[in-house]
A and B are shown apart, each in its own frame.
Chain A
């Protein structure tokens, strides 16, 4: 069997960014309404934030109106006093008496320099009440109120938009993640077994959890941020050019250097992030190896060796960690500096232009805001792009798996064998099989016939192709040449599901999952009765053991270390016996069970299955001695066949194999 174990490829960086993103967009099509809504809201929120600063400065203007006395009124009063010669007059509904006028002029005369506002302010309090009322600074309260209400509404709206937008995006990304996980899970059961020979389980697992998580998390933030930042960015550029192009170019050029820096850093840090994932993988692999083989490490005094390798990986990971973190941490302060730099540049160029009389002060003030609006989204875009890159990398891995070639379609197959009516005859006709990527066929020209109710044993040294035969029989792999016939029907003409339903299969690798004893035995045969389960457990000798468990059949198997390898095998045998199938395959199913228990189990099985055709693979030849037919395999061929006694008398390969147990 091909057992590739090459170094795990590094896939963190998308091989084809554009393709991955296009594909992502296609997959997201189902959620387009929600996505469009949230993107619109994000853009709208940005537009609002371009507005808000303007209104806020208006508010400041209104308030500052309340700072300065009304010089125009002051002048008007002075003028009126002079022209009217201290006659009473009214101004702004305020009656200014003669006395008031005298006091006023007196105070006024104390101010030497008419332009000295400080002196005016200190004399202000000595002015008569009536005049004070006229010239005292006043704010337009209603205007302030209006702006304040407007701003409050703006803020609330913007908060609301942001909230709706992020809830929508969250929903989309989580539902999308759900969908992806679901697809992967379903895909696992549609892939041919050969896929799993070439790919590590850990890698597939990582796609279900890590990659999908990455997609969900980064998509959630990156898309909305990207849209709102770009809106802000473009909006600021438009506003800038609209206001003044020289200033606009100044702002853009001064930030441009920052831009370049940003992309350099992004590129570099990405490299180290990739390295980091890789080194983490290496370290993880090493740790896994050591922890799971700890008994050997200990008893062979391997700790020095193990530590050396650990230190090497650990040090490499340290370097990658440090560098990636440092570089990515550079972004925010960098962007802050660029913002400040742009600010100063705009002020200086603005001031120059003002002196030439090209622009007014207002333009500079406006640009101060624009520069902020312009540089602020830059770093956000950078970060979002970074996130989007990992989204693409992760998405690529997920799609790669989802797009993997599936098992052949079986829609056209119409034949079906009813498992209750099968006679039980199996014929191997010139079966040849070669694993993908192998040069030599594993099975060559295999011919054999199993008659209904027969017990067929397959024996032979490791690597002879015994397990491969089982894989072919179960239609896990497609035969390269030749055919296998069940009751005269080629398995090529039957669906895999149909073939599987005809066989009960118990393997050497005990497969138990986290759940109760009952869950593990009944498995997906949920319509089976508890009585049947208990009967079977009695027959295979599990009953006593299960009764000693704290909750007997409802005990959880995950944390019971007390279950020995042999007991685990018995549990899987019990599971197999629950399924009433006409054929039985036991692939080293009792190798960890002691021979006495095995005998009991076999007797029970024989009773249960006396009219069923069974295939048994075993190294322990005592297991198969009573088989009706023993097929002795070597290098993919049957070299001998017959009953135990026939073969012993023949004094061939089997006899040699058998008798070697008596030698020293």
Chain B
């Protein structure tokens, strides 16, 4: 919890100190007010009091009240600024941290969890700060102050107050012990509820096709029941809190009076009045003490929730990305080349290698294609080039330099990567094409149009409202799968990269568009190197070099014709798509 607070700078610490001082004066003023109040009461009750006296004391009291209001307002302002600043900075830190993560860390945390941590968890702590910080300053101050005011009074009263505080703390303690573990459970169950509902929503067609509505509803019912039961238990337990707290408070007052009565009864005539006065003062301060302790207890009750969030945030902040920027001090020896030297890869905690001993070199202007069965490691292999993951053994070289030696920025500037699943951002067609930074060229309007034309996207883009400035919804939900893929290819083209990486990026295109696009691209970028992953033989058969992968190993390398002759796996794949004649005629 403390750790997440380190975002505060000197200025904020000063603000905290200032608010503490203000709270201090506020408490002083508030404890001062009862004095005036009792003076006014006495004046009003005494016959023949001067009106001016009442006015004077009333004025004092109002001044106290006003000053306390003013300081409360200022403190409120400062604290709200403080907690908002906290969340502003923490969100930013989390966001930047996540941006620095490699796919490994993202996979470990899960993107959805990173999202909740960046928003929800931060909000939890912010709320705690907003409410808790003031209480945290105020409650102990009031308690201590009130205690000092009554310390020298009769020990019987102090005893009674102490017992009341202990009872109170015991009740709160027991409640915390019972309820807090269930808080976590509630959080978990809410997640489950979300998941079951999301499941039904995302699979709505499947659910209906299988007539599985009842099945899903039962599943939901289960979670719903669990959640409701746990919630009900928690809240019922909490419901006891408020009556007990009032009961303790009122009983304490009553007991103080009763003790007072017997003290007065047994005291000498001279002491009686003093004891009576003490009694009144004591009981009002005792209330203050009890309330302060209650507030403190409440803080400790909401603290666990905030600290669960704080832990989740720290987990992210403390995770060091496994992929660090290289020094960037080596000069490129070649241009447009990609080379794998004995590359092997496995996930950090996995046992089996996903890739084993991969060797190849792509020269400038060449097209290298990868083909292989589902799960053979094609995507994993090309993910090593932009360093989404780092190799376990061996070396990946781009332009003759190990990718680990590049600054990530300059490595990425060389690459035009088109993922398997097209990613679209909220914005326009143009902003999606010009996405990101590049040191090579400024992406002009002309360039955007060219890229879109080469990517065979011109037709549909020009049919859209506002054409190149047409709105693209988040995730590209307002364009079809094939259209998304073409736009995401155009995005790569617009950057003029040395090396293109296509990770099964043509799968949503029909054969015609696919081949048109590739031939246009070839014309447009004669010098660029292309690395292509594909399922369709047609997409790759004209590549300069085809590498056949099977269970993470290279089982064949060569041209289409060569592989047909000497690679059994390739032949099988080819024959599953085309007839013998077609293959020979192609």
Interface: B224 (CB within 8 A)? yes
Interface: A365 (CB within 8 A)? yes
Separation in Å of the B16 CB from the closest CB of chain A? 16
Whether the pair B85, A318 counts as a contact (CB closer than 8 A) is yes
Give Cα distance in the complex from A293 to B212, angstroms: 32
Of residues 482 through 522 on chain B, the ones whose CB sits less than 8 Å from some CB of chain A are 482-483, 488, 491, 495, 507-516, 518-519, 522
Binds A, one of B59-67, B144-152, B174-182, B294-302: B59-67
Given known contacts A3-B479, A295-B417, A662-B586, A351 and B269 CB-to-CB distance under 8 angstroms: no
Interface: B566 (CB within 8 A)? no
For this complex, 7 residue pairs linking A to B, each with C-beta atoms less than 8 Å apart, are: A66-B264, A136-B269, A171-B232, A185-B217, A341-B62, A513-B203, A565-B420
Given known contacts A295-B103, A347-B54, A205 and B206 CB-to-CB distance under 8 angstroms: no
Which residues of the other chain, A, contact B95 by a CB distance below 8 angstroms?
287, 290, 307, 310, 314
Whether the pair B80, A63 counts as a contact (CB closer than 8 A) is no
Give Cα distance in the complex from A566 to B478, angstroms: 26
Given known contacts A139-B265, A174-B232, A287-B115, A461 and B88 CB-to-CB distance under 8 angstroms: no
The range of chain B's interface size is 35 or more
Given contacts A332-B72, A474-B205, 9 further A-B contacts (CB under 8 A): A185-B200, A294-B106, A325-B79, A325-B83, A340-B33, A351-B51, A594-B573, A595-B536, A664-B515
Separation in Å of the B555 CB from the closest CB of chain A? 13
B372 touches which of A196, A297, A594, A657 (Cβ 8 Å): A594
Of residues 521 through 535 on chain A, the ones whose CB sits less than 8 Å from some CB of chain B are 523-525
Separation in Å of the B515 CB from the closest CB of chain A? 4
Give Cα distance in the complex from A355 to B50, angstroms: 10
Give Cα distance in the complex from A314 to B542, angstroms: 49
Given known contacts A185-B197, A304-B437, A595 and B205 CB-to-CB distance under 8 angstroms: no
Q: Please give me the residue from chain B that is nearest to A300 by CB atom.
A: B436
Given known contacts A166-B239, A283-B119, A294-B101, A661 and B193 CB-to-CB distance under 8 angstroms: no
Interface: B69 (CB within 8 A)? yes
Separation in Å of the B161 CB from the closest CB of chain A? 17
Whether the pair B536, A561 counts as a contact (CB closer than 8 A) is no
B514 touches which of A503, A565, A661 (Cβ 8 Å): A661
Interface: A167 (CB within 8 A)? yes
A462 touches which of B199, B208, B257, B481 (Cβ 8 Å): B481
Interface: A99 (CB within 8 A)? no
Give Cα distance in the complex from A185 to B536, angstroms: 42
Whether the pair A193, B204 counts as a contact (CB closer than 8 A) is yes
Which residues of the other chain, B, contact A501 by a CB distance below 8 angstroms?
211
Whether the pair A657, B257 counts as a contact (CB closer than 8 A) is no
Which residues of the other chain, B, contact A125 by a CB distance below 8 angstroms?
268-269
Interface: B524 (CB within 8 A)? no
Separation in Å of the A122 CB from the closest CB of chain B? 7
Which residues of the other chain, B, contact A460 by a CB distance below 8 angstroms?
510
Which residues of the other chain, A, contact B204 by a CB distance below 8 angstroms?
188, 193, 196
B40 touches which of A189, A347, A507 (Cβ 8 Å): A347
Whether the pair A301, B513 counts as a contact (CB closer than 8 A) is no
Query: What is the 8 Å Cβ interface bit string for chain B, positions 88-111, against chain A (1 contact, 0 not)?
Result: 100110011011010100110001
Whether the pair A162, B243 counts as a contact (CB closer than 8 A) is yes
Separation in Å of the B138 CB from the closest CB of chain A? 11
Binds B, one of A75-83, A90-98, A153-161, A235-243: A153-161
Whether the pair B216, A201 counts as a contact (CB closer than 8 A) is no
A321 touches which of B87, B220, B350, B388 (Cβ 8 Å): B87
Of residues 455 through 491 on chain A, the ones whose CB sits less than 8 Å from some CB of chain B are 460-463, 474, 476
Give the interface SS of chain A, mostly helix, strand, loop or mixed. helix
Query: What is the 8 Å Cβ interface bit string for chain B, positions 184-212, against chain A (1 contact, 0 not)?
Result: 00000010011101111111111111111
The range of chain A's interface size is 35 or more
B45 touches which of A184, A330, A361 (Cβ 8 Å): A361
Whether the pair B96, A329 counts as a contact (CB closer than 8 A) is no
Whether the pair A513, B199 counts as a contact (CB closer than 8 A) is yes
Whether the pair A174, B235 counts as a contact (CB closer than 8 A) is yes
Separation in Å of the B107 CB from the closest CB of chain A? 6
Given known contacts A152-B254, A500-B210, A364 and B44 CB-to-CB distance under 8 angstroms: yes
Q: Please give me the residue from chain B that is nearest to A496 by CB atom.
A: B208
Give Cα distance in the complex from A474 to B209, angstroms: 7
Which residues of the other chain, A, contact B207 by a CB distance below 8 angstroms?
189
Query: What is the 8 Å Cβ interface bit string for chain A, positions 151-191, against chain B (1 contact, 0 not)?
Result: 11001101110110011001100110110011011101100
Which residues of the other chain, B, contact A300 by a CB distance below 8 angstroms?
412, 417, 435-438, 491, 495
Query: What is the 8 Å Cβ interface bit string for chain B, positions 258-293, against chain A (1 contact, 0 not)?
Result: 101100110011101100100110000000000000
Which residues of the other chain, A, contact B279 by a CB distance below 8 angstroms?
63
Which residues of the other chain, B, contact A504 by a CB distance below 8 angstroms?
209
Interface: A593 (CB within 8 A)? yes
Whether the pair A596, B572 counts as a contact (CB closer than 8 A) is yes
Interface: B123 (CB within 8 A)? yes
Interface: B58 (CB within 8 A)? yes
Separation in Å of the A322 CB from the closest CB of chain B? 4
Interface: B231 (CB within 8 A)? yes
Give Cα distance in the complex from A340 to B537, angstroms: 85
Interface centre among B45, B204, B217, B516, by most chain A C-beta atoms within 10 angstroms, is B204
Interface: B558 (CB within 8 A)? no
Whether the pair A305, B437 counts as a contact (CB closer than 8 A) is yes
Separation in Å of the A530 CB from the closest CB of chain B? 18
Separation in Å of the A86 CB from the closest CB of chain B? 25
Interface: A337 (CB within 8 A)? yes
Give Cα distance in the complex from A332 to B79, angstroms: 15
Given known contacts A152-B254, A160-B243, A566-B374, A285 and B201 CB-to-CB distance under 8 angstroms: no
Give Cα distance in the complex from A159 to B249, angstroms: 11
Whether the pair A284, B115 counts as a contact (CB closer than 8 A) is yes
B106 touches which of A60, A291, A497 (Cβ 8 Å): A291
Query: What is the 8 Å Cβ interface bit string for chain A, positions 117-152, against chain B (1 contact, 0 not)?
Result: 000011011000000000011110000100010011
Given known contacts A564-B375, A594-B573, A505 and B205 CB-to-CB distance under 8 angstroms: yes
Separation in Å of the B185 CB from the closest CB of chain A? 15
Given known contacts A189-B213, A348-B54, A340 and B276 CB-to-CB distance under 8 angstroms: no
Interface centre among A213, A332, A361, A661, by most chain B C-beta atoms within 10 angstroms, is A661
B236 touches which of A159, A170, A350 (Cβ 8 Å): A170
Whether the pair A284, B119 counts as a contact (CB closer than 8 A) is yes
Give Cα distance in the complex from A160 to B250, angstroms: 14
Interface: A209 (CB within 8 A)? yes
Whether the pair B519, A170 counts as a contact (CB closer than 8 A) is no
Whether the pair B199, A514 counts as a contact (CB closer than 8 A) is yes
B423 touches which of A296, A321, A659 (Cβ 8 Å): A296
Give Cα distance in the complex from A348 to B347, angstroms: 80
Give Cα distance in the complex from A603 to B234, angstroms: 57
Interface centre among B83, B95, B513, B514, by most chain A C-beta atoms within 10 angstroms, is B95
Give Cα distance in the complex from A463 to B257, angstroms: 84
Separation in Å of the A631 CB from the closest CB of chain B? 15
Whether the pair B272, A66 counts as a contact (CB closer than 8 A) is yes
Q: Please give me the residue from chain B that is nearest to A190 by CB atom.
A: B213
Interface centre among B61, B103, B247, by most chain A C-beta atoms within 10 angstroms, is B247
Which residues of the other chain, A, contact B518 by a CB distance below 8 angstroms?
664
Which residues of the other chain, B, contact A343 by a CB distance below 8 angstroms?
37, 61
Binds A, one of B162-170, B307-315, B329-337, B574-582: B574-582
Separation in Å of the A584 CB from the closest CB of chain B? 11
Give Cα distance in the complex from A380 to B273, angstroms: 38
Whether the pair B251, A196 counts as a contact (CB closer than 8 A) is no
Whether the pair A622, B577 counts as a contact (CB closer than 8 A) is yes
The 10 closest A-B pairs by CB, nearest first: A5-B473, A661-B538, A566-B374, A300-B436, A333-B72, A462-B482, A293-B423, A524-B215, A622-B577, A302-B436
Interface: B11 (CB within 8 A)? no
Give Cα distance in the complex from A371 to B118, angstroms: 46
Which residues of the other chain, A, contact B391 by a CB distance below 8 angstroms?
none
Which residues of the other chain, A, contact B208 by a CB distance below 8 angstroms?
189, 193, 474, 476, 496, 500
B522 touches which of A561, A579, A593, A664 (Cβ 8 Å): A664
Whether the pair B228, A174 counts as a contact (CB closer than 8 A) is yes
Separation in Å of the B375 CB from the closest CB of chain A? 4
